Amino acid sequence: MEFNKINFKVIEDCFKQAESRELLYNIFIASSQNMTDSEVKVLKPDSLPGLLRQLPSQLEITNEKAVMLILSLHALMKEYIAVGMQDEESLASRFPSTFNKKIMSFMFKTMRSCAEDCKQYYQDQFTNLPRMVDFDWRLDVKISSKSAERLKQPILYVKMDLEDAAAASGEQNKEVLF
């Protein structure tokens, strides 16, 4: 099974079998949003949202096809965020010419509506760094001193307030000197 590959045939087949647009929308959101790549690569039934666990029975497909659908929708959303937000035509050109136009139109509408939230989630979850709350800096340069006639060594002081696990205990300030 290939990760980050969009299987357009599986998407089209599965979306044609769905009962309603609302179900399609919910499947797309659950598959493409709120899961990082590492979570998608180890799809475990207990970690999946209930809607995705019920995909095989709702769409009358095999478990393998359901996993391929989830992976394809996830990869499609990432591709849309990377390329399609600025140039939807280039992403649309990757779809097979025989792809159902109504389904493609629906998918682009859905991607447009949830792209910003999804992008923010991916950015927050892919970086395991603490968030910066505040930032301050100062550059000091000593021109001369009693011990030396000319000094040209700048000193950069950087103060960052980071939000992390220690934030709960009140510790937030971390100063860095370069």
Q: What are the b/e assignments for 73-103, b being 16+ CB within 10 Å?
A: bbbbbbbbbeebeeeeeebeeebeeebbeeb
Same domain, 93 and 170: no
Same domain, 108 and 33: yes
The one-character DSSP state at 80 is: I
Same domain, 117 and 143: no
Find, among 17, 144, 11, 166, the residue nearest to 73 by Cα: 11
| Domain membership flag for residue 1 | no
Segment 94-146, tens digit of pLDDT = 899 999 999 889 888 988 888 887 777 666 666 666 777 888 999 988 777 77
Same domain, 151 and 169: yes
CA distance 64 to 68: 6
Same domain, 70 and 27: yes
pLDDT on residue 164: 67
Same domain, 58 and 98: yes
Amino acid (one-letter) located at 65: K
Same domain, 122 and 142: no
Same domain, 115 and 53: yes
Q: What is the pTM of this model?
A: 0.62
Residue where a domain stops, chosen among 87, 110, 126: 126
CA distance 174 to 166: 11
pLDDT along the chain (178 residues), means of 10: 74 85 83 62 61 78 83 84 79 90 89 80 65 86 72 82 59 48
pLDDT on residue 171: 47
Residue where a domain stops, chosen among 111, 126, 141: 126
Same domain, 121 and 155: no
| Domain membership flag for residue 50 | yes
| Domain membership flag for residue 15 | yes
**Domain residue limits at 54:** 8-126
Structure tokens at 99: 């792809």
Residue where a domain stops, chosen among 126, 152, 167: 126
pLDDT on residue 138: 92
| Domain membership flag for residue 2 | no
Find, among 110, 83, 119, 113, the residue nearest to 11 by Cα: 110
Q: How many domains does the chain have?
A: 2
Same domain, 153 and 172: yes
pLDDT on residue 176: 47
